[in-house]
Amino acid sequence: MEFHLVREHPRLSRHAPYDHEGCCRSGRRCSPYNACVLVRSRRRRFSIVSQTLTDRADLDPVIRSALYQALTQLDGQFPAKLAKLKAFIQDYTATSGNLDALLKEQAKDLAPVAQQVATAWYLGIVGSGKTSKTITYANTLANAAVADVLTPPSYGFGEVNSWAAKPV
């Protein structure tokens, strides 16, 4: 999947509505099969799932885009899994308060996807072990929860979790 189409897209802006008029490089109206429309709809799915999991509507669009890209690079099947999770959330009218219980009862295979998304937002890390990537550090939702009392340092000292002792 190519993400550069959205970043270089002349008509896309987080400040302007997306209207499909002249959005492609050809200057013509987009076909529903164009990559820019497909990538945009997948990112919208990620936005809806993220808002449900975090119970926040004000998620940073730059971080959202970076997390989605990293999760997709980590797992090529992530967009398909995300589509199933979004459909589940809509079918069961799930909220952040009842989603975990619903997943345990109805769709255990989707619970890891929800966990990946929540971990990415709250810790700013995608993946685990040697494949993990830090996407954001100071702007994680975990840090936002304590921002009135604590300010995290603006840098990391090494690779992800390098400061923590390995479990015995």
Report the predicted TM-score, pTM, of the whole model to 2 decimal places: 0.68
pLDDT of residue 56: 92
Question: Tens-of-pLDDT digits for all 168 residues of the chain?
Answer: 223 223 333 333 333 333 333 344 445 555 555 555 555 677 789 999 999 999 999 999 999 999 999 999 999 999 999 999 999 999 999 998 999 999 999 999 999 999 999 999 999 999 988 889 999 888 899 988 888 887 766 565 566 666 666 666
Residue 54 to residues 35, 46, 69, 134, Cα–Cα distance (Å):
28, 12, 19, 19
Residue 110 CA, distance from chain mean position: 15
For residue 104, how many C-alpha atoms fall within 13 Å in the half-sphere facing its CB?
4
Exposed, middle or buried, 160 (CB in 10 Å: 0-12/13-18/19+)? buried
CA distance 99 to 88: 9
Contact predicate 74/131, CB 8 Å: yes
State the Cα–Cα distance between residues 48 and 57, nearest whole angstrom. 9
Tell me the pLDDT tens digit for each residue of 30-70: 555 555 555 567 778 999 999 999 999 999 999 999 999 99
Among candidate residues 71, 80, 61, 48, the one with its CA nearest the CA of residue 12: 61
**DSSP code of residue 128:** -
Domain boundaries along the sequence of the chain: 1-15+28-44, 57-148
pLDDT at residue 52, rounded to an integer: 94
